[in-house]
Chain A
Amino acid sequence: MAPETGEMRKRTFVVTRFDPDKDQVPKTQTYEVACRPDWKVLDALNHIKDEIDPTLSHRWSCRMAVCGSCGMNVNGEPKLTCKTQLADYGEVVEVEPLANFPIVRDLVIEMDGFMEKFKSVKPWVIVAKEKAAEEGPNRQSPEELSAFKQFSMCINCMLCYAACPVVAKEPHFLGPAAIALGHRYNMDSRDEGAAERNEVFRGEGTVFHCSYANECTEVCPKNVDPAAAINQAKLNAVVDWAASFVVKRNG
């Protein structure tokens, strides 16, 4: 179809709508939008909210793929809508809330389940004894940093959870981002909490639920490669379990 006016191009957006006060189940609503060629999906959603339908709810903040809040399913695939070019899509663009999450309203998902899983892997540096300030900073070589740096680039956008076939079927599974972050701290030379986290990894939401579909890595907008982290964490969790029979641990 030729552009309508100048560089503008008309597209149809099929957007999921859900009002918890009125709707029993989500439905879809269609919007016709004249889009500029340089627009991202988020620009179109903001246009709909500002100019067509102010009742539409969606999350966004930074518009530069850093905050991780604008994740949605676009034509069935989890995407950060602020870095998803409309030019890559056809006439009809289907926008849904991230898959595998309860829906609060329209395109806004319930994040508390994710935050619970996130917290359960203890994503902070654990040390047996705090170091006094006068003892100086904890030093880390570039090589030590490289062991985990990739896994620390996660922006918690949750696209990996929306893409994961195991998350869709196993509600207890810790999931890609949480395990990647736990593994990131296990690999940190300053951390002494690997045994605690490995117990979590072997627990209810065990890392062994992962069947290595690799979908989390495919959709990750920051190239974190959570599938690599999970599968490295599997080996570490087994080695840690075996070592626990040989090496006595405190507590």
Chain B
Amino acid sequence: MARASHPQAMTPHRPGSTRTAPPQVPDTFWSQPRMRTYLLFDATGIPYLVLGLIVLRVAVALGRGPEAWQELMRDFSNPLYLVFHAIALISVIFVGVRFFRLFPKAQPARLGPIKPPPRPVIHAGLYAAWIAVTLALLVVLGGLWP
């Protein structure tokens, strides 16, 4: 059994002399494990959208003064917020890992005379930069520096 793909998928501009059946995909096309991972990757856009709205709320609360800020902090202790932030963290890690896996091979073979380093080096560099930026943010936001 199969599902329909786009009716014009891979259809030539000039139809041939033989009648053809419309393009289709197997029933399992969207549920294969790799495709599910890809769809999950795309779905992480939803937590990012919500996270963006929360950041806007934080900015508004900051502008309104200490009372609004205290109210926001009370709201953030709600378990729903905590669950959402856990989902957002998992989304970020998932996207980061997938992006870092695919990023090195998307690099140009060379930039003028400069040849990019081997893929494992790019890969390791991305993780090193990620960890460094995360630690720097934790240090600054945690009040340890400056």
- A interface with B by C-beta (< 8 Å): 16, 18, 20, 23, 25-26, 28, 73, 75-77, 94, 96, 99-105, 109-110, 112-116, 147-148, 161, 165, 167-171, 175, 187, 211-215, 218, 225, 227-228, 231-232, 234-236
Contacts and interface: CB of A to CB of B under 8 A. Distances in A.
Contacts of B42: 211
B16 interface: yes
Contacts, number: 128
Contacts of B107: 232
A217 B28 CA distance: 19
B82 interface: no
B6 A103 contact: no
Contact of A167 (B9, B105, B106, B108): B9
A96 to B, nearest CB: 6
A109 B25 CA distance: 13
The 5 tightest CB contacts between A and B, nearest first, are A231-B106, A112-B12, A102-B20, A171-B8, A76-B26
B9 to A, nearest CB: 5
A18 B24 CA distance: 13
A76 to B, nearest CB: 4
Contacts of B14: 112
Nearest to A109: B10
Contacts of A96: 2, 24, 26
A109 B105 CA distance: 32
Given A100-B10, A171-B9, A147 B110 contact: yes
